[in-house]
Chains A and B, each alone.
Chain A
Amino acid sequence: MNKSIIMAALLGLATLSGRAQDLPERGTTPAPNPTPRTDPNRDAYGRPRLNAYNLMRESTYSRYVTFNTSLRYGVGLPMGSSRNYISTISPANALLTMEWQFPQNFSLGLQTGYQYNQQRLPRQLTTFTSGETISAVQTRTLTMTPVMASAAYYFSDPAAPIRPYVQVAGGGAFMNYTNYYGTLADTDKKFAGAIAPAIGVKVFGKREKGLGGEIQAQYQNVFYKYNEINGAQNLLLSAGLTYRWY
């Protein structure tokens, strides 16, 4: 009794599955599949999975606000009246940026850093307006800590392997002017407004790849005045790592 029930059930299943298999073939002659189903580069219809349209359409970077951070090392070239104070190239600059990337080409961000420059002048006489004449070896230092918001336009989509951009940053910078006469210091600390246009490129190597490299040239203009400096201008060339994620 039990055996006959099981046999009937098996027969029924066989019939059902047979009907299910037959259904798609009804009416049309099946096209021969040019590649086996297991090919990961082809979809069920034999079309290549990888094409620019699909990636553009499917990338999360292109659909949501995504994130990007970068840490860079740079050299600073004093420009304009900054050169009256320190004329040498600064080898000590670090920059940290955070960006919110919109699905198209724009991004908004924040940036900060630590920029230091120093120059030692041989012993010379300086006469101050107060009347003192000072003979000293001067060690001129300038420390800049920018705190700026940025807006950038990228010339490629957010998931692209290479992303050149133009950027403008605005905000301010904590300035620490300390000129040592021997070991005596003339110090001025101030927060001054700043504006900094930049061009740069991020290179990830592959679409959607997270980690990449970045180089940037930024022209910093800090509205800072003290002694020799009448507006601190600086061309900052930086290179480092960048990372995008969502």
Chain B
Amino acid sequence: MKTSKISGQFRRPLAAAVLALGLGVGLSACTDNAVNNLTPADSNVLITNYDRQIDFSQYKTFSLPDSVIVESNNGYSQSSQPVEQQIVAQVAQELTNRGYTRVAAGKSADLGVAVTRVNNRYTGVTTNPYAGYGNYWGYGYGYGYSAYYPSYYQYYQVTDRYWRVELVDLKNRVITTPTTDPNAPQNQLRVIYQAELRGNGIFDTASINKLITDAFAQSTYLKATR
């Protein structure tokens, strides 16, 4: 009898606690932290696309420099760090496995291969709309007090870093003369294949080879023979 009385006494707080716990669990679940627990390997995204009008068996050779292009916002440079040499070697290996032949630097080839390390960085400023102005226009402003930057200014920086592998059609390129407009679309080199490798850990030497292998594995149309 006595125990049932106690349990009755505690029933209501217990129910409230269970409810609060349930709500707590529920509210901590949200879109913003949905991918916080992704492993680096699971975070990797391989995006491939190609020109549907192209028959890739018409190409037999490819030209691939030993360095990669570093694209930093609108600036371009070349780099040949160990990890970059590794990705170039792996791309060459995959293309060779598909039946294409790499030509020496400077020799003409059917395909131009560009490996780019994209390193874009964007900086912006935002204001916190919920920060109160408080005494922003309070007494004393303009009477010899120095201005200060309110704390509700927030700076954000977005870094977008990924690998890009492109195949360019050199075989069917337009023969340029001094009078051709190099910027006209029909006179530009045509990108017929592109792969973007994104995610965490993509600049680690341990993960490079698998990324490239997987990207080519989902691009079955890349082969020198039908």
Interface segment, one of A6-14, A55-63, A181-189: A181-189
Nearest-neighbour CB distance to chain B for A192, whole angstroms, equals: 17
- List B contacts of A131 (CB < 8 A): 49-50, 52
Chain B residue nearest to A116 (CB atoms) is B29
B218 with A143: CB separation less than 8 A: no
- List B contacts of A132 (CB < 8 A): 47-49
Nearest-neighbour CB distance to chain B for A90, whole angstroms, equals: 9
A118 with B43: CB separation less than 8 A: no
CA distance A87 to B45 in the complex (A): 23
Nearest-neighbour CB distance to chain B for A183, whole angstroms, equals: 5
Nearest-neighbour CB distance to chain A for B67, whole angstroms, equals: 27
Nearest-neighbour CB distance to chain A for B197, whole angstroms, equals: 10
> Residue A114 at the B interface, CB < 8 A?
yes
> Residue A156 at the B interface, CB < 8 A?
no
Nearest-neighbour CB distance to chain B for A70, whole angstroms, equals: 11
A contact residues, total (Cβ < 8 Å): 34
> Residue B174 at the A interface, CB < 8 A?
no
Nearest-neighbour CB distance to chain B for A238, whole angstroms, equals: 10
Interface segment, one of A35-43, A133-141, A161-169, A193-201: A133-141
Interface segment, one of A18-26, A91-99, A103-111, A225-233: A91-99
* Cβ-neighbour of B15 out of A93, A136, A241 (below 8 A): A241
> Residue A176 at the B interface, CB < 8 A?
yes
* Cβ-neighbour of A134 out of B12, B15, B38, B47 (below 8 A): B47
> Residue A151 at the B interface, CB < 8 A?
no
B46 with A135: CB separation less than 8 A: yes
* Cβ-neighbour of A182 out of B16, B31, B199, B218 (below 8 A): B199
* Cβ-neighbour of B218 out of A118, A125, A180, A183 (below 8 A): A125
Per-residue 0/1 for B96-109: is the Cβ within 8 Å of any A Cβ (1 yes, 0 no)? 00000000000000
A73 with B22: CB separation less than 8 A: yes
Chain B residue nearest to A132 (CB atoms) is B49
Chain B residue nearest to A177 (CB atoms) is B31
Nearest-neighbour CB distance to chain B for A81, whole angstroms, equals: 20
* Secondary structure class of chain B's binding surface, majority of residues: mixed
B38 with A182: CB separation less than 8 A: yes
B23 with A118: CB separation less than 8 A: no
Nearest-neighbour CB distance to chain A for B220, whole angstroms, equals: 10
> Residue B27 at the A interface, CB < 8 A?
yes
> Residue A171 at the B interface, CB < 8 A?
no
> Residue A65 at the B interface, CB < 8 A?
no
CA distance A242 to B220 in the complex (A): 60
B: interface residue count bin: 20 to 34
CA distance A116 to B34 in the complex (A): 11
- List B contacts of A213 (CB < 8 A): 15
Chain B residue nearest to A125 (CB atoms) is B218
A94 with B23: CB separation less than 8 A: yes
> Residue A89 at the B interface, CB < 8 A?
no
- List B contacts of A181 (CB < 8 A): 45
CA distance A139 to B37 in the complex (A): 11
> Residue B204 at the A interface, CB < 8 A?
no
- List B contacts of A235 (CB < 8 A): none
> Residue B35 at the A interface, CB < 8 A?
yes
A184 with B29: CB separation less than 8 A: no
CA distance A133 to B194 in the complex (A): 11
- List B contacts of A241 (CB < 8 A): 15-16, 19
* Cβ-neighbour of B42 out of A72, A125, A141, A182 (below 8 A): A182
CA distance A116 to B30 in the complex (A): 6
B15 with A183: CB separation less than 8 A: no
A135 with B214: CB separation less than 8 A: yes
- List B contacts of A133 (CB < 8 A): 47-49, 218-219
Chain A residue nearest to B217 (CB atoms) is A135
CA distance A136 to B25 in the complex (A): 28
In the A-B complex, the 9 residue pairs with the smallest Cβ-Cβ separation, listed nearest first, are A182-B45, A73-B22, A92-B26, A92-B29, A135-B46, A137-B42, A136-B45, A132-B49, A141-B31
A residues in contact (CB < 8 Å) with B: 71-73, 91-94, 114, 116, 118, 123, 125, 130-137, 139, 141, 143, 176, 178, 180-184, 211, 213, 240-241
Could you pull out 24 A-B pairs where Cβ atoms are within 8 angstroms?
A73-B23, A73-B26, A91-B29, A92-B25, A92-B26, A114-B27, A123-B42, A131-B49, A131-B50, A133-B48, A133-B218, A133-B219, A135-B47, A135-B48, A135-B215, A136-B44, A137-B42, A141-B34, A143-B30, A143-B31, A182-B35, A183-B43, A184-B45, A241-B15
